[in-house]
Amino acid sequence: MKPEHIAVARNCLLLSAAPEAVLQHVLGSARLRDFDRGATIFMQGERASAIYIVAEGWVKLYRIAPNGAEAVVGVFTKGRSFGEAVAFRHDTYPVAAEAVTDCSLIRIEAETFLRLLRDNPEVAILMLSATHVHLQSLVMQVEALKAQTGAQRVAEFLLELAPCSEGACEVVLPYDKFLIAGRLGMKPESLSRAFVKLREHGVTVRQNNAAIADISALRAFSEEDPATAWAR
pLDDT at site 213: 93
Q: Are residues 213 and 141 in the same domain?
A: no
pLDDT at site 125: 67
Residue 2 pLDDT level (bands cut at 50, 70, 90) = confident
Q: In what order do the strands lie in the sheet with 96-99?
A: 40-42, 96-99, 59-64, 70-76
Three-class SS of residue 81?
strand
CATH number at residue 179: 1.10.10.10
- Host domain of residue 155: 148-230
Q: What is the pLDDT of residues 112-159, one digit of tens each?
A: 877 777 777 666 666 666 666 656 666 665 665 555 788 888 998 899
Q: Are residues 191 and 85 in the same domain?
A: no
pLDDT at site 60: 94
Which candidate, 164, 167, 161, 152, places its Cα nearest to that of 209? 161
For residue 19, the tally of other CB atoms under 10 A from its CB is 11
Which one has a higher pLDDT value, 97 or 163?
A: 97
Residue 226, pLDDT > 80, answer no
Q: Are residues 79 and 121 in the same domain?
A: yes
As a whole-number percent, the residues of the chain with pLDDT over 90 amount to 37
Identify the weakest region by mean pLDDT among 30-39, 146-155, 219-228: 219-228
What crossing angle do the helices spanning 110-119 and 20-29 adopt, rounded to 10°? 150
Strands 103-109 and 169-172, how do they pair?
unpaired
Q: Are residues 70 and 25 in the same domain?
A: yes
Which one has a higher pLDDT value, 24 or 129?
A: 24
Q: Are residues 69 and 105 in the same domain?
A: yes
pLDDT at site 130: 63
Q: Are residues 19 and 74 in the same domain?
A: yes
Side-chain half-sphere CA neighbours of 43 within 13 A: 2
Q: Are residues 180 and 123 in the same domain?
A: no
pLDDT at site 126: 65
Q: Which of 118, 145, 172 is the last residue of a domain?
A: 145
Q: Are residues 34 and 101 in the same domain?
A: yes
Q: Which of 145, 167, 202 is the last residue of a domain?
A: 145
Q: Which of 95, 112, 145 is the last residue of a domain?
A: 145
Q: Are residues 64 and 85 in the same domain?
A: yes
Residue 12 pLDDT level (bands cut at 50, 70, 90) = confident
Q: Are residues 157 and 47 in the same domain?
A: no
Q: Are residues 132 and 168 in the same domain?
A: no
Number of domains in the chain: 2
CATH number at residue 18: 2.60.120.10
Q: What is the pLDDT of residues 53-85, one digit of tens each?
A: 999 999 999 998 788 778 888 889 999 989 887
Q: Are residues 16 and 46 in the same domain?
A: yes
